[in-house]
Amino acid sequence: MNQKIYENYAKLAVEIGINLQEGQDVVINASTNLATFVKEIVKVCYENKARKVTVEWSNDEITKLHYLNQTVETLSEVPLWREEKMKYSVEKLPCMIYVDDSDPDAFNGIDMAKMAQARQATYKVMKKYRDQMDNRYQWLIVAVPSVSWAKKVFPGLEDDEAVAKLWEAIIKTMRLDAEDPVAAWEEHIANLSDKSNKMNAMNLDYLTYKSANGTDLTVKMQPNHIWLSARETNLRGIDFTANMPTEEIFTDPDYRTVNGVAVASFPLMMSGKLVKDFSITFKDGKAVEVEAEKGLETLNTMLDMDESSRHLGEVALVPFNSPINQTGLLFSNTLFDENACCHLALGMGFANCVKDYGNYTLDECREMGVNDSMIHVDFMIGSEDLNIDAICENGNTVPVFRNGNWAF
């Protein structure tokens, strides 16, 4: 890959993504396959006056061997050093950069129930530390092609050609082909902020979704909700952009008052398992019925992860003509696919989608209707004929989407 692309990508990650402040620590989570790109991020972090940069490496093939060869009891252990590391993170609040190159099929052959049990056990131990860090640090997810991921997107191409084609798509959707990528992102962030500001001005009560594919859904908002977009602000007053690329504005529903049917418009990859042509029926906020042409067992396993995983934690508005959808590609990567069209998310909601959330405890946010769960799984429901209306608190109906795209 062109060195200039690496440099510009790293610059975007550090300056627009985490918006690194002088003297902050940074932790980079990345695959062992990505040393060249990670080195560039480390370099840019120090150029921007980071105090300390730590890289935590992972490898999907090794992780798979752990799942294949360890018992559930062993996988569920949380050694003291892991807790001490989390305590250190709570104290230092480092910026977190997650660089994803995951093979969508990496965990094929793994017992989903075994994986779920292990994650449930570790989540119970680690949750208290994550709650203490919630909305107090900057974080970012970006992606870099691997051969396995590229071959999933372009199965008919040779390895090098597939990686090159995936890079082309990432360069375009990340605006790395702009003369000044940082300026291009600032303009894009401003455009998304304009949409979220208009949604916030509506004082809406609930949204209705209707599409010819069978989607017929009513989603009530939690009473103090606000719409956010690309640029968020943490409790220390620092702006950051958590997902790159991003085309969405999003908020919390009231997880207790969702009713109707949501039909997925894109397949979903979960831990190497494909879930395809599925629908979820909600009653009083809870997913009470699911259907799927493929992957029903995987979907049910996810829905049973905890008592809140059958409830929504996010609604996101993305035009069907988004740059990502216009590529015509299924990326098999949520970071990209969720930004192709409107989506919902099962599981955890976002406390920072509560107005003046810094004045409330996490428990108080959850009492307002913000869901709390160990999972957050996005699934796409956008289509070229999706219509969305906002029913405002004053009773007025305002068109939000018509034929899959913004109505204003």
- Give the per-residue pLDDT at 46: 98
What's the rounded Cα separation, in Å, for the pair 167 and 175? 12
At 362-375, the pLDDT tens digits run 999 999 999 999 99
What's the rounded Cα separation, in Å, for the pair 148 and 154? 10
Question: Can you give the residue ranges of every domain in the chain?
Answer: 3-144, 203-228+247-406
- Give the per-residue pLDDT at 272: 79
At 181-206, the pLDDT tens digits run 999 999 999 999 999 999 999 999 99
Using alpha carbons, select from 343, 331, 408, 401 the residue that is nearest to residue 172: 331
Q: Residue 109: left if φ>0, alpha if ψ -120 to 50, beta else—which one? A: left
Question: 20: which DSSP letter?
Answer: P
What's the rounded Cα separation, in Å, for the pair 249 and 257? 21
- Give the per-residue pLDDT at 205: 97
3-state percent helix, strand, coil for the chain, nearest multiple of 5: 35, 30, 35
- Give the per-residue pLDDT at 273: 86
What's the rounded Cα separation, in Å, for the pair 285 and 322? 29
Give the chain's end-to-end CA distance (angstroms, integer): 39
Report residue 81 as tokens.
């050093």
What's the rounded Cα separation, in Å, for the pair 1 and 101? 15
Q: How many CA atoms lie within 13 A of 101 on its CB side?
A: 23
Matching CATH number, 3-144, of 3.40.1830.10, 3.40.50.720, 2.170.120.20, 3.10.129.10? 3.40.1830.10
Q: In which order are the strands placed within the sheet that holds 139-143?
A: 52-58, 25-31, 95-100, 139-143
- Give the per-residue pLDDT at 389: 98
Low-confidence ranges of the chain (pLDDT < 70): none
Using alpha carbons, select from 137, 70, 59, 68 the residue that is nearest to residue 102: 59
